[in-house]
Structure 1
């Protein structure tokens, strides 16, 4: 599979003022594979230390954090020489060795000639527990997310159709609307976790995909038990399990009472933050005005909470495999939950930080809004071909916005103030709206 983030790694290697790189992402998104592929194609050698498998390697960082002393000890441990210009030095599962992360500050200040990548899941939380400081300003950072729809499409249908989509030539794709809609249904069921997507490419077996999704979920829940404070563990699990129910509401705003009757925000705020920091959930805050900058209008008390991956959300919900095979039910069932989850996932994958807006009296709401080229763009998600967009019109008139996006199963059409983008093309919103 091809990962778009590989291009960012190429750019990092070529950068004159390159710093050590921290590659973050939730477990099972393919960080180790990406580093190995990058190293194989760009370096003569890759020296990778996995701190989860090789616990003894953590002792390398027990003494001083002089980079050249660290490199020497790594060379002794692996029996190979590390050449600054031709060797990629990778610290994998770095959350298991917090002082190794701290050492990146000194690689940046004293030994920037080395190509150093640190990869880890559960990054921020493990560090807070260990009491080690994060090397703020001393590292470059990238986040690896599940496969975007474009990456999934490239793996399932090849380069030609994906290249045309990424070139924003939607007119050339109109005759392939049925093919792209079919691949979108697959993506909503399979999701973007690399192992699951690879299994689907090889077998087209939805049952096997669901088995692998359950394994990943079990692994996440085991991590909760391993890392979360015991005092919030049970509440974390309740929030995690409540995600399908939260998104099944007509109004997908997070409701504490769905987690547990009578629940209050203060009982669950820390649990939610742990899930977000760990990477298995993403928070979309409400704004009370669509004005720039959006962050200045956030209402911290209201938000939507999405899962890291649309396929995992289906598995959490116990979505029947028959729904996967029935295209119309997949898009209209579950009250559009999978569709809105999918759009959030694509916006994040393409570098956006979405919010949503609702009027104070609750009569109008946009599903998402993003900042684009210095302007604000409200977005409405339609699970089928219902093209009514009353709330978008209200939002545009209220805040003086000249452009809005509706995404649905309909073909691309530009009506001036409103542009309809097919759901299978919403990841290309920057070039289409």
Structure 2
């Protein structure tokens, strides 16, 4: 499995001033595999410690924070000599032992020569429960499900991905039908590593659905296992409401659709829990598209997406026969799968923040507004080849952006004010403003 995050890990290893690194991401997005593979290819020795249900490690880190003592304990535990230059230390499920999380501060200050990478799927929840955190002493890397481009590579289509990477849209357009067929498969399969690997090996859509159902079931079990008892019913209702929320014409999240008559304050903690787990992504509305967008966000209006388009298609019981029915898949339940797909690809791009915009009357909406740090890019999503972009035109006439982007099934085309980027190329949208 190729993951672009491996390049980030290699860059981290090269830096002389590196800090302990924490990989963030939802359960089952491949954090443990990535770190073990990094250890295998980049280090002579790897010491892997899983803190989940590990009383020995809890005891080791509960005493003083002398690094020499901790290293000796880790050597005894693993049976390996830990040489700073040649050994990768992997701390998995680090949130289960808060003292281990706190120790990263002392590793950074007193023994920066040790190379430590950590993972924690429920780390955000632990922090909100008051866990001591080594602020400023660690680095973060976010890991998401396979992007469409990583999916291409997993299927042995490296040269198709290379065309996108090189921005050779003229040649890529020649193979538009293959890109679109692979995109249909991605809508159904999604990017969860276990699902992708099964599909690569067996090409069995029924097996895909079984694994996705098991993953969804495991997430629901996590609600009961890790969330406060009084919060569990609200988390479940909120989670189960997401498909119906996305099927609306106006995809603004409405608490009233979770339960009739419900209000924001009743579900805010449940939403925070799902966000901290990495299971949902909030995209907030901005009132005025001016840098920085964060200063202009509307805290009361947002859209909510889940972490993976394949899991969403499983939740709505999308029939595999739709893969054969022309382009109907891209329009399924009012284009919600397509918006989910686009947001998912945007999340994998570095250095951008994503919002959406509506005018005050609510008569015009731009699906996504991208803050690259230096400019703002409006992005309209079309689930078919109907290219009427009235809202995008309203936005462009009012705010005069340097470039506007529309993504659809149409071919690549750049005009004076508008870039039409095919859906299968949205993963290289950052090249539009680089």
TM-score by length of 2: 0.97
Q: Are residue 295 (structure 1) and residue 298 (structure 2) matched?
A: no
Shift of 1:326: 2.8
Shift of 1:158: 2.4
CA distances 1:179-212 after superposition (whole Å, capped 9, x unpaired): 0001111111110101101111111111111111
Tell me which residue corresponds to 2:37.
37
Secondary structure of residue in 1 paired with 2:431: helix
Tell me which residue corresponds to 2:135.
136
| Cα separation, 2, equivalents of 1:159 and 1:190 | 18
Q: Are residue 14 (structure 1) and residue 11 (structure 2) matched?
A: no
Correspondences of 1:245-260 after superposition (within 5 Å): 245-260=244-259
| Cα separation, 2, equivalents of 1:70 and 1:326 | 60
Tell me which residue corresponds to 1:328.
327
Tell me which residue corresponds to 1:411.
411
**Bigger shift: residues 152-161 or 33-42:** 152-161
Tell me which residue corresponds to 1:77.
77
CA distances 1:78-111 after superposition (whole Å, capped 9, x unpaired): 1211001100011111121111111101000000
Secondary structure of residue in 2 paired with 1:312: helix
The answer to whether the 8 A contact 1:289-1:399 is kept is no
| Cα separation, 2, equivalents of 1:245 and 1:38 | 40
Shift of 1:323: 2.3
Q: Where do 5+ consecutive residues of structure 1 fail to align? A: none
| Cα separation, 2, equivalents of 1:201 and 1:432 | 31
- Aligned residue-pair number: 432
Q: Where do 5+ consecutive residues of structure 2 fail to align? A: none
C-alpha RMSD over aligned residues: 1.2
The answer to whether the 8 A contact 2:291-2:373 is kept is no
The answer to whether the 8 A contact 1:98-1:127 is kept is no
Secondary structure of residue in 2 paired with 1:388: coil
The answer to whether the 8 A contact 1:19-1:139 is kept is yes
| Cα separation, 2, equivalents of 1:308 and 1:431 | 24
Tell me which residue corresponds to 2:432.
432
Moved over 4 A (4+): none
TM-score by length of 1: 0.98
**Bigger shift: residues 310-319 or 175-184:** 310-319
Tell me which residue corresponds to 1:205.
204
Tell me which residue corresponds to 1:317.
316
Secondary structure of residue in 2 paired with 1:303: strand
Shift of 1:236: 0.6
The answer to whether the 8 A contact 1:421-1:432 is kept is no
Correspondences of 1:95-134 after superposition (within 5 Å): 95-129=95-129, 131-134=130-133
The answer to whether the 8 A contact 1:366-1:392 is kept is yes
Correspondences of 1:215-364 after superposition (within 5 Å): 215-351=214-350, 352-364=352-364
